[in-house]
Structure 1
Amino acid sequence: MKIQILGSGAGGGLPQWNCNCTNCTSARHGAGEVRPRTQSSIAVSENGIDWILINASPDLLAQLRAHPELQPARAIRDSGIAAVVLIDAQIDHVTGLLMLRERTTPLPLYACRPVFDDLSSGFPIVPLLSHYCGVERNEITLNEPFAIPAAKGIRFTAIEIDSKAPPYSPRRAASAPGDNIGLLIENVASGTRAFYAPGLTSASSAVREAMQSAQLVLVDGTFWRSTEMIDLGLSDKEAADMGHLAQCGHDGTPGMVQLLDTLPRTTRKVLIHINNTNPILNHHSAEHAVIRARGIEVAHDGMHFQV
């Protein structure tokens, strides 16, 4: 199966429109040390023609222009996007659904019930789309494998993860099962697997098991330090308060780097959903050197994998 990284940045992308941090300034002025990135999304395909979009970024239209394989042009109105799977209801993962309203058939949408609840009330994208293309609602059940008709050779399994519901959700302070998931994506014919989880506060035994079983892991690379946003004067919240496990450990808690160190050496380890403040974005930085020495990659838009 084929996996394309459409967007590798966190909310706001890089450069973020109102940010003048070191990374945003470098990306904006093309200095070369930091590559621009759109907001987080990947696409998965069995045949390279029909694609399953995992999350619909606000930058979706730019991502489609950058990936012509998602526009096969078989008819006067056409798209390679056969369905969309949502891992949460965060604005940077769902706003792009509105860009798909010109579809001529209802949009097949896969999500857990709490996500559909939030997208029908606090941020009512689903009822909005009913006035345009319509939505074919497919409810995901945790830990139960499911297939999508356009990619029958791929099996998806939703793994419950510890993260945060969106700020507009009534469950922001106490997330419910299904508010956030990681996706185990399996090539049925070969048995090879990828695990995608751009937002992780911690790693449960189920998450660790999924990561151990995967040949490719695409996981939360949002922050280098837990106090990164505080140190820069951009927020009063630590990484965990925003639903993310920083790469560096904090107060005796192992970080994402230490978690990835436990995986088999043959596993391809990629950090995705990278915030514009994270020093690993600069390939000349000491932090970037640390993760590269451990065999960890920094995702960028346009990366592709065969799993």
Structure 2
Amino acid sequence: MRITILGSAAGGGFPQWNCNCRNCAGVRAGTVRAKPRTQSSIFIQPDAGGDGLLLNASPDVLQQIKATPALQPGRALRDTAIAAVLLIDGQIDHSTGLFMLRERNGKLPLWCTDAVAQDLTTGNPILRVLEHYCGVDRRRLQPDGTPFEIPGLAPLVFRAIALSSKAAPYSPHRDAPEPGDNIGLSVTDPRSGKTLFYAPGLGEIDGPVFAAMQAADAVMVDGTFWTNDEMQRMGLSRKTAHDIGHLAQSGAGGMVEWLDKLPASTQRFLIHINNTNPILDEDSAERAELTRAGITVCEDGMALDL
């Protein structure tokens, strides 16, 4: 299977439109060696050149399609290689791109949990709005590890598991978490026997999550913040990374420590990187630490074959 990174930044992208932190100001001025990034999304195809699954519909999806010819193969007057969309959660940076897909010919196949479907019909009623356009063929996603297939994407096998993170601020269960508010997704290609584990929003790593990571040949996980108090120290928020549902990379129990426990053969990637995170600076000490640990920082346009 082919995995293409369409967007690798957290909400707001990089540089964020209204931010003048060291990273954002530096990349604009050319004084920080870093690459601009759109908001987090990936595209998975059973075979390069074929139709695939869009994981998360970023607000930047039109820019991502323009930058990725594989998503617009041009086989007909109206065409797309997006066979279906699967949402990891109901956050704005992962769901509002659905509006940009409203001209689809026929209903949009959309895989999401009941919790996310509730968010997107109540707090942020995207699915109701789309009924006035292409409509949505919503497929129920069970976050219990049960294997399932998606029509048109054979032979790939998918498994979703519930994660500890945070529902969107407009969710009716923002402060009363439900299984399925956030999921991790394992994708296996039985031809190669290879598996990807994808979890761009991850508040903590429990037994089932770490088992899924250990079973994968490549893990692509939450790279939002370097430290738990990153936003607080910069005066940008009163909340910690943990408060908003993200596991910081550094420190005891951080993502780097967890990734170091995986088998040596596992490919390790960080995605959903906030504009304040020093790992965006390719000359930073934090980036050098990741390089020594064998961890790759995702970039828009990167492709991985498993």
Aligned length: 304
**1-side partners of 2:271 and 2:82: how far apart?**
22
What does residue range 292-307 of structure 1 map to in structure 2 within 5 Å?
Answer: 292-307=291-306
CA displacement at 1:146 relative to structure 2: 1.1
Q: What amino acid does structure 1 have at the position aligned with 2:155?
A: G
**2-side partners of 1:113 and 1:46: how far apart?**
26
CA displacement at 1:152 relative to structure 2: 1.2
**2-side partners of 1:224 and 1:254: how far apart?**
12
* Residue in 2 that maps onto 1:109: 110
Q: Which moved more, 1:46-55 or 1:230-239?
A: 46-55
**2-side partners of 1:286 and 1:220: how far apart?**
19
Q: Deviations over 1:280-304 (max 9, x none)?
A: 1101001111111010111110110
* Residue in 1 that maps onto 2:11: 11
CA displacement at 1:256 relative to structure 2: 0.3
Q: 3-state DSSP class of the match of 2:155?
A: strand
* Residue in 2 that maps onto 1:123: 124
Q: Deviations over 1:137-181 (max 9, x none)?
A: 100112111111111111111011100000011211121001100
**1-side partners of 2:244 and 2:152: how far apart?**
35
What does residue range 241-280 of structure 1 map to in structure 2 within 5 Å?
Answer: 241-249=243-251, 253-280=252-279
**2-side partners of 1:28 and 1:96: how far apart?**
25
* Residue in 1 that maps onto 2:39: 39
**2-side partners of 1:144 and 1:131: how far apart?**
33
**1-side partners of 2:127 and 2:30: how far apart?**
38
Per the normalisation by structure 1, the TM-score is: 0.97
Q: Which moved more, 1:219-228 or 1:21-30?
A: 21-30
**2-side partners of 1:24 and 1:272: how far apart?**
18
**1-side partners of 2:51 and 2:187: how far apart?**
16
**2-side partners of 1:29 and 1:119: how far apart?**
38
1:197 pairs, out of 192, 199, 202, with: 199
CA displacement at 1:30 relative to structure 2: 3.6
| Alignment of 1:209 onto 2:211 | yes
CA displacement at 1:20 relative to structure 2: 0.3
**2-side partners of 1:27 and 1:113: how far apart?**
40
**2-side partners of 1:30 and 1:81: how far apart?**
35
Q: What amino acid does structure 2 have at the position aligned with 1:281?
A: L
RMSD (CA atoms): 0.9
**2-side partners of 1:203 and 1:192: how far apart?**
22
Q: What amino acid does structure 2 have at the position aligned with 1:59?
A: D
**1-side partners of 2:161 and 2:3: how far apart?**
19
Of all paired residues, the percent bearing the same amino acid is 55
Question: Structure 1 residues 118 and 220 mapped into 2: Cα distance closer, same or farther (>3 Å)?
Answer: same
* Residue in 1 that maps onto 2:21: 21
**1-side partners of 2:31 and 2:304: how far apart?**
28
**1-side partners of 2:177 and 2:41: how far apart?**
22
CA displacement at 1:32 relative to structure 2: 5.6
CA displacement at 1:64 relative to structure 2: 0.4
* Residue in 1 that maps onto 2:94: 93
**1-side partners of 2:258 and 2:200: how far apart?**
14
Q: Residues 23 and 32 of structure 2 are in contact (CA less than 8 Å); yes or no, is this contact kept in structure 1?
A: no
Q: What amino acid does structure 2 have at the position aligned with 1:12?
A: G
**1-side partners of 2:8 and 2:214: how far apart?**
22
Q: Deviations over 1:209-229 (max 9, x none)?
A: 110011111000000000000
Per the normalisation by structure 2, the TM-score is: 0.98
**2-side partners of 1:213 and 1:34: how far apart?**
32
Structure 1: gaps (5+ residues): none
Q: Residues 10 and 39 of structure 2 are in contact (CA less than 8 Å); yes or no, is this contact kept in structure 1?
A: yes
